[in-house]
C-alpha cells in the first residue's frame, strides 16, 4: 500500500519501479494501478489545488465482449485508452491509467472536466455507430494529503452509483454514498443466507375484476425480514440486486415459492388462483429465466396459465432485443405477459409500440392527485385506456385506494383494479379470508372478452370544459335463462336510464330480450358486426330519439350466460320535461320526418 508522505527511500524505489515494465498495463500501455497510485499520491501531496480523480467504466462491456468477442473487446479498451490519453495529455501532470478490465482512472484538474468527459464519450460512441455503448464516470475531488486508495474508492463509488441510472453519465461523490454503499454491500453479503433461511417471503395482493367484483389474480411481492435491519422493503433491495446483477436469484426463488404455495392451495382444495410475478429485465440476461420458470412449473405440475409475467418498462436507449425475444418466447408458449408500471417513465409509449404485451398495468401515479386535480388525471386515464383497448389489450390499474377511484375506473371500463382499497399484500391464506369471492377460472376467458369492449363516453366539450353533447351511451348486459342483468354501463347510459319510468324500464327489457332471441334464432351472421342494420333500432323516450345497436359479445360455457353489448347515441337533443301532449306531438313529427313506422325496429317508451 502506498500511503501519503512516503519516506525518501521508498520514493527512490518507486522511481525505479515506475521506469520498469511492471508499471505498465500490458494491453493498453497505460500506467497500471500500482504505478498510478504512486504518481497520483505525489501529485496530491504536492499541495496542488483543484485536483480531481475520475473513475471511468464502460457500462455494458461484458455484453459487448459476449456479442463481438474478446478480441473486439480488447480493441475497444485500447481505443478508449487512446482517446483518454489524447484528451488529457494537453494538461500538465494529468495521468491516465487502467486499473483492471474496463476500469480506467485519471487524475486531472477541475477545469474543463465536464467537457473532457463528454468529449471522450462522444468520440468513443462515434467509432461504433449503431451500437449501444455507455460510458460512466465518477468524480472525486481529493483534499491535500488524502490517501490515494480512499480517493479512488470514492470516485468508484460515484461511478457505481449511476450504474442503473441511465439518465446520468457522470456523477460527483457525495458523503451519503459511503453509507449507501455499506448498506448495499451488506445486502449482497447476506442475500444467500436469507434465501436459504426462509427470511425472504412472498406475499400476495389481490387483483379484482371490476365487472364481477371477484378476485381474479394475485400479485406476488417479496418481503425480506432481516435480524439486523428489521424489515427491508423491496424498494430498497431490488435496485441493489439489479445493480450488482444478483436479481435473478430472488426471482428464481419467488417462482419456486409461488409454485409451492399454489401446490398447497390445490392440496387444500381451494379454488385455483393465478399469480402474477415480477421479473426484472436483467433476469433475461443473467439466467435463462424461461427455462427456470418452465422447469419449476413442471416440477410442481402447474399449468402455464396460472403464472402471469409482469415486466416493467425498459430504460430508454437500452438494447431491447434480448428482452423482446424473451417476451415473445413466453407468449408463444402461452404465458400472459403484462407491462408493469405503464406511464411511470419516459419510454412507456415506445415500449408499447415495439413490444407485445397482453395487459397494460397502469402505474399508481395515474391515480395520485385524482381527487384534487381530477379533470386532468381523468382525461389521461381514459384516453390511455382507450388506446389500450384499441390495441386489444387487457387493462389493470394499480394503486386504487378509495371507492371514488374505483367507481371512476368502472365507468370508463377498466377491466381490473388493484390497491389498498381491496387489500395490502398478505399471505395466500389471508386472501381466501377476504370478503370478495375468487373468480372461477373457467369464467375468465368470458370476462376477458368483455373487458376489451370500449364503453367510454365520447363527450364533446366546449373550451370551458362544459359537456356540449354526449356522443355515446354504452352498456353490457348478461342474459341467463331469460333473466337480464346489467353488467356495466357508462355515465351517459346511466343518466339516460335515470330518466325512464319503471314501466318504461320493464318495456325496454322485454324488447331487448325479444330482440336478442330473434337475432340468435336468425343466426344473423352480422349480429356481432356493428355495420349490420339487423342489430340497429330506434327508441323514442322523453321526447328524444335514440339509435341503439346491440351485438352478441361473449358466451360463458360454464354458466350458459350470454353477454350483449349495447351502444346508443342520441339523434336529437331536446330539453327534457315537456308534458305528455308535447311528447305525443314530437313523436308524431319524428315519425313523419324519419318516415318510420312503429314496429319491429322502433320502441316507443313514454
Binding residues for ligand C2E, per CB under 6 A? 205, 221-222, 233-235, 238, 247, 250-251, 254, 278-280, 340-341, 364, 398-401, 419-420, 425
SS3 for 394?
A: strand
Residues forming beta bridges with residue 56, ordered by sequence position: 104, 137
Instruction: Report the nearest approach of ligand C2E to the CB of residue 262 (Å).
Output: 15
Instruction: Report the nearest approach of Ca ion to the CB of residue 337 (Å).
Output: 12
Instruction: Report the nearest approach of ligand C2E to the CB of residue 253 (Å).
Output: 8
Instruction: Report the nearest approach of ligand C2E to the CB of residue 241 (Å).
Output: 8
- Nearest residue to 259 (alpha-carbon basis) of 306, 219, 317, 311: 306
Q: Does 382 bind Ca ion (CB under 5 A)?
A: no
336 binds, among Ca ion, ligand C2E, none (CB under 5 to 8 A by kind): none
State the pairing for strand pair 467-470/459-461. Answer: antiparallel
395 binds, among ligand C2E, Ca ion, none (CB under 5 to 8 A by kind): none
420 binds, among Ca ion, ligand C2E, none (CB under 5 to 8 A by kind): ligand C2E
Q: What is the dihedral of CA 369, 370, 373, 378, to 10 degrees?
A: 140
Residue nearest to ligand C2E according to CB distances in the complex: 419
Query: Which residue, 407 or 495, is less far from ligand C2E as judged by CB?
Result: 407
Query: Which residue, 233 or 350, is less far from ligand C2E as judged by CB?
Result: 233
- Nearest residue to 499 (alpha-carbon basis) of 584, 606, 571: 606
Residue 606 burial by CB count (10 A; 0-12/13-18/19+): exposed, middle or buried?
A: middle
251 binds, among Ca ion, ligand C2E, none (CB under 5 to 8 A by kind): ligand C2E
Query: Which residue, 93 or 345, is less far from ligand C2E as judged by CB?
Result: 345
Query: Which residue, 221 or 565, is less far from ligand C2E as judged by CB?
Result: 221
Query: Which residue, 340 or 443, is less far from Ca ion as judged by CB?
Result: 340
On the CB side of 438, how many CA atoms lie within 13 Å of its CA? 20
The beta strand positions in 513-583, using DSSP E, are 536-541, 544-555, 562-570
Give the interface segment with Ca ion, choosing from 52-60, 110-118, 209-217, 276-284 (CB under 5 A). 276-284
SS3 for 77?
A: helix
Instruction: Report the nearest approach of ligand C2E to the CB of residue 575 (Å).
Output: 42
Query: Which residue, 247 or 551, is less far from ligand C2E as judged by CB?
Result: 247
Instruction: Report the nearest approach of ligand C2E to the CB of residue 583 (Å).
Output: 48
The beta strand positions in 363-457, using DSSP E, are 394-398, 416-418
Q: Does 448 bind Ca ion (CB under 5 A)?
A: no
- H/E stretch holding 408: helix 403-412
217 binds, among Ca ion, ligand C2E, none (CB under 5 to 8 A by kind): none
Please name the residues in contact with 156: beta carbons below 8 A apart, sequence gap of 6 or more. 55, 103, 138
Q: Does 254 bind Ca ion (CB under 5 A)?
A: no
Q: Which of residues 42-81 bind Ca ion (CB under 5 A)?
A: none
480, 560 Cβ separation under 8 angstroms: yes
Distance CA 221, CA 257 (A): 11
Per 3-state DSSP, the chain is made up of helix, strand and coil in percentages (nearest 5) of 45, 25, 35
Query: Which residue, 289 or 554, is less far from ligand C2E as judged by CB?
Result: 289
Query: Which residue, 86 or 404, is less far from ligand C2E as judged by CB?
Result: 404
Q: Does 340 bind Ca ion (CB under 5 A)?
A: yes
273, 431 Cβ separation under 8 angstroms: yes
Q: Which of residues 300-339 bind Ca ion (CB under 5 A)?
A: 310
Instruction: Report the nearest approach of ligand C2E to the CB of residue 365 (Å).
Output: 10
135 binds, among ligand C2E, Ca ion, none (CB under 5 to 8 A by kind): none
State the pairing for strand pair 230-232/275-279. Answer: unpaired
Instruction: Report the nearest approach of ligand C2E to the CB of residue 223 (Å).
Output: 7
Give Cα 412 to chain centroid, integer Å. 21
42 binds, among Ca ion, ligand C2E, none (CB under 5 to 8 A by kind): none
Instruction: Report the nearest approach of ligand C2E to the CB of residue 245 (Å).
Output: 13
Query: Which residue, 83 or 221, is less far from ligand C2E as judged by CB?
Result: 221
Q: Does 278 bind Ca ion (CB under 5 A)?
A: yes
Q: For residue 205, what is its C-alpha cell?
A: 395482493
- Pick from 341, 439, 448, 457 the residue near Ca ion by CB under 5 A: 341
205 binds, among ligand C2E, Ca ion, none (CB under 5 to 8 A by kind): ligand C2E
553 binds, among Ca ion, ligand C2E, none (CB under 5 to 8 A by kind): none
Q: Which of residues 77-96 bind Ca ion (CB under 5 A)?
A: none
Instruction: Report the nearest approach of ligand C2E to the CB of residue 344 (Å).
Output: 8
Instruction: Report the nearest approach of ligand C2E to the CB of residue 599 (Å).
Output: 52
Q: For residue 186, what is its C-alpha cell?
A: 451488506
SS3 for 499?
A: coil
Residue 409 burial by CB count (10 A; 0-12/13-18/19+): exposed, middle or buried?
A: buried
302 binds, among Ca ion, ligand C2E, none (CB under 5 to 8 A by kind): none
Instruction: Count Cβ atoms below 10 Å from residue 482 Cβ, excluding itself.
Output: 8
The beta strand positions in 374-419, using DSSP E, are 394-398, 416-418
Residue 119 burial by CB count (10 A; 0-12/13-18/19+): exposed, middle or buried?
A: middle
Total binding residues toward Ca ion, as defined by CB under 5 A: 4
**Rg for the chain, CA atoms, rounded:** 33
Give the interface segment with Ca ion, choosing from 205-213, 270-278, 504-512, 541-549 (CB under 5 A). 270-278
Distance CA 428, CA 202 (A): 9
Residues forming beta bridges with residue 479, ordered by sequence position: 484, 562
Instruction: Report the nearest approach of ligand C2E to the CB of residue 234 (Å).
Output: 3
Instruction: Report the nearest approach of ligand C2E to the CB of residue 134 (Å).
Output: 22
Distance CA 566, CA 176 (A): 60
Whole-Å CA distances, 74 to 70, 81, 134, 433: 6, 11, 16, 60
Q: Site residues (CB under 5 A) for Ca ion?
A: 278, 310, 340-341
Amino acid at each position: 500500500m502506498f500511503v501519503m508522505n512516503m519516506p525518501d527511500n521508498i520514493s527512490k524505489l518507486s522511481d525505479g519501479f515506475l521506469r520498469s515494465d511492471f508499471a505498465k498495463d500490458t494491453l493498453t500501455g497505460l500506467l497500471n494501478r500500482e504505478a498510478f497510485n504512486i504518481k497520483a499520491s505525489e501529485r496530491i501531496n504536492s499541495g496542488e489545488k483543484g485536483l480531481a480523480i475520475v473513475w471511468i467504466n464502460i457500462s455494458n462491456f461484458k455484453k459487448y465482449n459476449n456479442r463481438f468477442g474478446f478480441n473486439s473487446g480488447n480493441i475497444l479498451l485500447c481505443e478508449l485508452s487512446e482517446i483518454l490519453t489524447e484528451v488529457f495529455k494537453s494538461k500538465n501532470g494529468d495521468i491516465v491509467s487502467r486499473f483492471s478490465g474496463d476500469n480506467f482512472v485519471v487524475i486531472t484538474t477541475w477545469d474543463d472536466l465536464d467537457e473532457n468527459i463528454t468529449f471522450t464519450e462522444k468520440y468513443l460512441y462515434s467509432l461504433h455507430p449503431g451500437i449501444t455503448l455507455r460510458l460512466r464516470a465518477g468524480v472525486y475531488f481529493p483534499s491535500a494529503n488524502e490517501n490515494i486508495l480512499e480517493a479512488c474508492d470514492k470516485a468508484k463509488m460515484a461511478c457505481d452509483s449511476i450504474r442503473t441510472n441511465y439518465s446520468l453519465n457522470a456523477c460527483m461523490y457525495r458523503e451519503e454514498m459511503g453509507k449507501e454503499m455499506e448498506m448495499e454491500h451488506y445486502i449482497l453479503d447476506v442475500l444467500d443466507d436469507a434465501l436459504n433461511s426462509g427470511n425472504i417471503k412472498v406475499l400476495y395482493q389481490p387483483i379484482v375484476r371490476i365487472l364481477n367484483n371477484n378476485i381474479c389474480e394475485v400479485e406476488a411481492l417479496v418481503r425480506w425480514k432481516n435480524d439486523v435491519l428489521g424489515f427491508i422493503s423491496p424498494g430498497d433491495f431490488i435496485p441493489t440486486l439489479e445493480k450488482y446483477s444478483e436479481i435473478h436469484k430472488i426471482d428464481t426463488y419467488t417462482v419456486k415459492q409461488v409454485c409451492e404455495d399454489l401446490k398447497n392451495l390445490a392440496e387444500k382444495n381451494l379454488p385455483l388462483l393465478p399469480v402474477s410475478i415480477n421479473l426484472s429485465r436483467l433476469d433475461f440476461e443473467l439466467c435463462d429465466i424461461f427455462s427456470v420458470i418452465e422447469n419449476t412449473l413442471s416440477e410442481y405440475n402447474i399449468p402455464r396459465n396460472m403464472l402471469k409475467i409482469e415486466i416493467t418498462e425498459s430504460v430508454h436507449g437500452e438494447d431491447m432485443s434480448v428482452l423482446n425475444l424473451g417476451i415473445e418466447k413466453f407468449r408463444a408458449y402461452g404465458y400472459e405477459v403484462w407491462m408493469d408500471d405503464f406511464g411511470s417513465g419516459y419510454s412507456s409509449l415506445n415500449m408499447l409500440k415495439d413490444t407485445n404485451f397482453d395487459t397494460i398495468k397502469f402505474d399508481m401515479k395515474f391515480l395520485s392527485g385524482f381527487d384534487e386535480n381530477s379533470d386532468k388525471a381523468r382525461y389521461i386515464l381514459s384516453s390511455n385506456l382507450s388506446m389500450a383497448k384499441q390495441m386489444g389489450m387487457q387493462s389493470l390499474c394499480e394503486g386504487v385506494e378509495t371507492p371514488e377511484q374505483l367507481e371512476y375506473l368502472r365507468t370508463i371500463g377498466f377491466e381490473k383494479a388493484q390497491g389498498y382499497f381491496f387489500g395490502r399484500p398478505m399471505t395466500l391464506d389471508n386472501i381466501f379470508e377476504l370478503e370478495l369471492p375468487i373468480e372461477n377460472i373457467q369464467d375468465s376467458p368470458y370476462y376477458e372478452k368483455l373487458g376489451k369492449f370500449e364503453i367510454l363516453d365520447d363527450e364533446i366539450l366546449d373550451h370551458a370544459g362544459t359537456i356540449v353533447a354526449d356522443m355515446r351511451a354504452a352498456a353490457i348486459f348478461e342474459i341467463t335463462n331469460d333473466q337480464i342483468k346489467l353488467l356495466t354501463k357508462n355515465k351517459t347510459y346511466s343518466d339516460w336510464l335515470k330518466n325512464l319510468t319503471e314501466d318504461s324500464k320493464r318495456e325496454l327489457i322485454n324488447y331487448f330480450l325479444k330482440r336478442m332471441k330473434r337475432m340468435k334464432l336468425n343466426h344473423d351472421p352480422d349480429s356481432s358486426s356493428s355495420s349490420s342494420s339487423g342489430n340497429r333500432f330506434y327508441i323514442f323516450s322523453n321526447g328524444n330519439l335514440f339509435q341503439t345497436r346491440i351485438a352478441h359479445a361473449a358466451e360463458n360455457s360454464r354458466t350458459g350466460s350470454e353477454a350483449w353489448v349495447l351502444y346508443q347515441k342520441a339523434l336529437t337533443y331536446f330539453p327534457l320535461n315537456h308534458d305528455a301532449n308535447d311528447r305525443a306531438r314530437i313523436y308524431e313529427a319524428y315519425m313523419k320526418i324519419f318516415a318510420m313506422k312503429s314496429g319491429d325496429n322502433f320502441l316507443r317508451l313514454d
